């Protein structure tokens, strides 16, 4: 996820019933107050925050979680909390976000993820992200979804490719200081037409 995730986001004027859904192994849902502590632990973990400018304090993480929860309550979608069905109650988030930074391709809706290290390597990010794409295109009606991360973040780029996104060059993220090895970002895109073609049932 980009550095501006912790900033306030735009919300619609009309409250919407939050979208919640399941995959074979996961449940994507609205946030609960009980998610805040494990999310704060993620924000303080240097492994989770390796490709962000700095780790987050508990106060910063709690404020971010409250904003995410409020956005989902307001418009029905956002960065959903993820739990393992029949298992862990919170492992991170996967979902959709409207970046506030003045990006060269804005306005846009991006897909992003952030999971606790104990749940890396199980395919959870890919599984959840594919379901989020389906919701974004088929239920919300988005025409395009983008994703981006710092160039050294090869793990996230691998997920982007696995879910069918297409590389579209690099850019310098305006929220990251000049000279930082994290400033250069890679951009991936996926159009709804390409999603429909790839997921059309075989005749």
What pLDDT does 12 receive? Answer: 41
* DSSP type of residue 160: H
Under DSSP, the state recorded for 35 is: G
Average model confidence (pLDDT) across the chain: 92
Quote the percentage of the chain above a pLDDT of 70.
92
Full-model pTM: 0.91
Neighbours of 169 (CB within 10 A): 11
- Residue-wise pLDDT for 46-90, tens only, equals 999 999 999 999 999 999 999 999 999 999 999 999 999 999 899
Contact 91, 119 (CB under 8 A): yes
Segments making up each domain of the chain, as ranges: 3-199
- Fold for 3-199, please state it: Aminopeptidase (3.40.630)
146-159 in b/e burial notation, b at 16+ Cβ within 10 A?
A: bbbbbeebeebbeb
Stretch 98-104: mean pLDDT, rounded?
93
C-alpha distances out from residue 134 to 10, 46, 64, 113, 161, Å: 22, 31, 25, 15, 16
Q: Residue 200 has what pLDDT? A: 81
3-class DSSP string for 91-113: CEEEEEECCCCCCCCCCCCEEEE
pLDDT digits (tens, 9 = 90+) for 158-171: 999 999 999 999 99
Judging by DSSP bridges, how do beta strands 184-191 and 110-115 pair with one another? unpaired
């Amino acid at each position: 996820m980009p550095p501006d995730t912790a900033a306030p986001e735009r919300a619609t004027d009309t409250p919407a019933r939050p979208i919640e859904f399941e995959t074979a192994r996961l449940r994507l849902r609205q946030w609960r107050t009980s998610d805040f502590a494990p999310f704060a632990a993620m924000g303080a973990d240097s492994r989770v925050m390796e490709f962000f400018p700095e780790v987050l304090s508990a106060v910063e993480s709690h404020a971010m979680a409250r904003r995410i929860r409020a956005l989902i309550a307001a418009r029905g979608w956002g960065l959903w909390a993820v739990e393992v069905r029949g298992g862990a109650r919170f492992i991170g988030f996967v979902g959709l976000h409207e970046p506030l930074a003045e990006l060269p391709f804005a306005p846009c809706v991006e897909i992003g993820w952030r999971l606790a290290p104990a749940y890396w390597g199980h395919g959870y990010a890919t599984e959840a992200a594919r379901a989020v794409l389906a919701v974004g295109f088929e239920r919300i009606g988005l025409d395009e979804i983008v994703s981006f991360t710092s160039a050294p973040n090869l793990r996230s780029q691998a997920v982007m490719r696995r879910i069918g996104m297409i590389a579209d060059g690099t850019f310098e993220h305006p929220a990251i200081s000049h000279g930082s090895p994290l400033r250069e970002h890679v951009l991936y895109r996926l159009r709804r037409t390409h999603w429909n073609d790839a997921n059309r049932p075989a005749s």
